[in-house]
């Protein structure tokens, strides 16, 4: 039987008697680093808990910032608040003896349900219909002809980790065929989730492609012009992994000429900046 835990407050309560919590109050990088000095608000800090919103203040924890942090502070541990840690230069941290951890299942349900919402919205053109309604042009019949239903469609999932598998289980409630590919085949793939032997087979079968891979050197721009054009004309592309895994220019061209009917995005290449 699992222990029952009542969390009554934020980090201060959770770490009471274990650690002192300070919050990010500094400005950009130079101010951030100087705040670790004598009499600074972060003096003596040994660990950082990083959330994605902090990128807007200090940017990525890249090599220059990591080395400067190691030189000016006592930080020896960086904890990332999500499963992905592409905004942390892990190699630089390793070189300076800074441990890095992540929370691989923290956003599992939230990301999976967001992806489901985006898929249905893209197929049914909900955002287009809303804009039409708000602009007063909703009485014209053009929108109805452009909507699709999920029944009988094939969903392709690239990357069947915890979130990808959770998304697949949610979609299984609908009358859709589900195919998947993962570079390391998951041991717990259900029978109703068909594993294909190559990415090309996944592209060719998917009416909806959901991207669920981490961002690293091997996945940067992995969905490019060739991959998008291999998808069926009128397909839907969903990206709730990392923005830089998709070639944005190729995606936009495919949207403009109709090869992609729509895309559902929860990520952008240069978050938190959105062009």
pLDDT of amino acid 10:
56
Fold matches, 11-101 and 108-265: yes
User: Which among 35-44, 48-57, 152-161 has the top mean pLDDT?
Assistant: 152-161
Query: pTM above 0.85?
Result: no
CATH homologous superfamily for 108-265?
NAD(P)-binding Rossmann-like Domain (3.40.50.720)
What is the C-alpha to C-alpha distance for residues 272 and 188, in angstroms, rounded to an integer? 34
Tell me the domain boundaries of the chain. 11-101, 108-265
- Measured at the CA of 100, the angle between CA 18 and CA 160, to 5 degrees, comes to 115
The answer, yes or no, to whether residue 58 has pLDDT greater than 60, is: yes
**Which tens digit of pLDDT belongs to each residue from 3-24?**
333 333 456 666 667 777 777 7
**Which tens digit of pLDDT belongs to each residue from 65-100?**
888 888 888 888 888 877 777 778 888 899 999 998
**Which tens digit of pLDDT belongs to each residue from 217-228?**
888 888 999 999
What is the C-alpha to C-alpha distance for residues 180 and 195, in angstroms, rounded to an integer? 5
pLDDT of amino acid 164:
92
CATH number among 1.10.3720.10, 2.40.10.10, 2.40.50.140, 3.40.50.720, domain 11-101? 3.40.50.720
Kindly give, in sequence order, each residue whose CB lies less than 8 Å from that of residue 160, ignoring residues fewer than 6 positions away: 168, 180, 181, 182, 185, 186, 189, 193, 212
Q: Count Cα atoms within 13 angstroms, Cβ side, for 211.
A: 27
**Which tens digit of pLDDT belongs to each residue from 166-203?**
999 999 999 999 999 987 777 778 889 999 989 999 99
**φ and ψ at residue 184, rounded to 5 degrees:** -120, 110
């Amino acid at each position: 039987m699992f222990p029952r835990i009542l969390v009554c407050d934020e980090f201060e309560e959770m770490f009471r008697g274990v650690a002192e919590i300070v919050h990010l109050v500094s400005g950009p990088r130079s101010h951030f680093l100087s705040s670790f000095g004598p009499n600074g608000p972060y003096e003596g800090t040994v660990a950082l808990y990083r959330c994605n919103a902090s990128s807007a203040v200090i940017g990525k924890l890249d090599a220059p910032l990591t080395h400067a942090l190691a030189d000016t502070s006592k930080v020896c541990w960086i904890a990332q608040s999500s499963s992905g840690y592409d905004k942390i230069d892990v190699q630089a941290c390793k070189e300076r003896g800074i441990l890095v951890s992540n929370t691989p299942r923290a956003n599992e349900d939230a990301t999976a349900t967001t992806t489901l919402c985006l898929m249905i919205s893209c197929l049914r053109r909900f955002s287009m219909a809303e804009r039409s309604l708000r602009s007063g042009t909703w009485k014209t019949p053009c929108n109805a002809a452009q909507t699709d239903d999920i029944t009988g469609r094939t969903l392709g999932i690239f990357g069947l980790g915890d979130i990808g598998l959770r998304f697949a289980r949610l979609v299984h409630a609908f009358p859709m065929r589900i195919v998947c590919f993962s570079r390391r085949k998951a041991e717990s793939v259900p029978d109703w989730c068909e594993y294909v032997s190559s990415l090309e087979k996944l592209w060719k079968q998917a009416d909806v492609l959901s991207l669920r891979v981490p961002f690293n050197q091997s996945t940067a721009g992995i969905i490019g012009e060739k991959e998008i054009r291999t998808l069926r004309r009128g397909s839907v592309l969903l990206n709730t992994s990392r923005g830089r895994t998709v070639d944005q220019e190729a995606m936009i061209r495919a949207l403009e000429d109709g090869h992609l009917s729509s895309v559902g995005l929860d990520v952008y290449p240069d978050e938190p900046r959105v062009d």
